[in-house]
């Protein structure tokens, strides 16, 4: 906090209505493999594993059994972060939880973005409630958590954080629909570094998730 990793220039959008990505991972191959990987792998502890998942949506499974982390980071250059802060950005992840009913809320499945120059950190922890519905957290305060009634956490969903420069907050979208309140930035910790992160980043929680796609992009218009 790689084969399967995909670096794309900022010239041409891949999908109609979307900005060109700064970095993207898609598929079920190792994000940290290859001669020039775009994702740096960080792992600690013994109760953590990773591997490919086949299916209609190939994915990379990250399993954290507790007291461990395993995440991937793309280091975004300062000039790109400055432009993202001015124009706005979107961080999206398409993933599903595996055996969500056994998990304790935390950041054992998460995506995040850190911009130390502008003192901003945004994290999205993806969990499940007792009904197996997605439970999204941005900090340790339960009053700020968002439950998504009617959805299943063990099915693939697209979770998006969309940064609004004028407000210095992010909007939360799930499968294209806005859900929950606007989320303010948290100041980075002393050990935080810049970049886009995904995987498991919480030694105090357990979780297992299949990541089909992770994408960070600067919005086309300010």
Prediction pTM value:
0.89
9-56 tens-digit pLDDT: 333 343 334 567 999 999 899 999 988 889 999 999 877 899 999 999
Rg (CA), the chain: 16
**Between the CA of residue 70 and those of 45, 85, 108, 124, 208, what are the distances in Å?**
9, 27, 9, 16, 11
Q: Are 29 and 220 in contact (CB under 8 A)?
A: no
């Amino acid at each position: 906090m790689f084969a399967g990793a995909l670096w794309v220039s900022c010239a041409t959008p891949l999908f109609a209505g979307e900005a060109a990505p700064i970095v993207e991972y898609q598929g079920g191959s190792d994000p940290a493999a290859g001669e020039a990987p775009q994702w740096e792998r960080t792992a600690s502890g013994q109760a953590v594993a990773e591997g490919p998942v086949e299916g209609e949506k190939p994915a990379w499974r990250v399993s954290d059994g507790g007291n461990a982390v395993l995440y991937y980071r793309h280091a975004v250059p300062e000039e790109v972060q400055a432009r993202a802060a001015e124009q706005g950005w979107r961080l999206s992840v398409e993933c599903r939880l595996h055996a969500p009913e056994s998990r304790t809320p935390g950041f054992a499945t998460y995506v995040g973005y850190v911009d130390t120059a502008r003192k901003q950190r945004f994290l999205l922890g993806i969990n499940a409630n007792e009904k197996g519905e997605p439970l999204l957290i941005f900090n340790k305060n339960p009053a700020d958590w968002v439950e998504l009634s009617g959805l299943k956490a063990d099915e693939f969903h697209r979770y998006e954080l969309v940064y609004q420069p004028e407000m210095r907050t992010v909007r939360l979208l799930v499968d294209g629909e806005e859900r929950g309140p606007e989320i303010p930035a948290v100041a980075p910790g002393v050990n935080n570094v810049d970049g886009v992160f995904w995987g498991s980043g919480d030694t105090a929680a357990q979780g297992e998730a299949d990541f089909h796609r992770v994408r960070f992009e600067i919005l086309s218009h300010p």
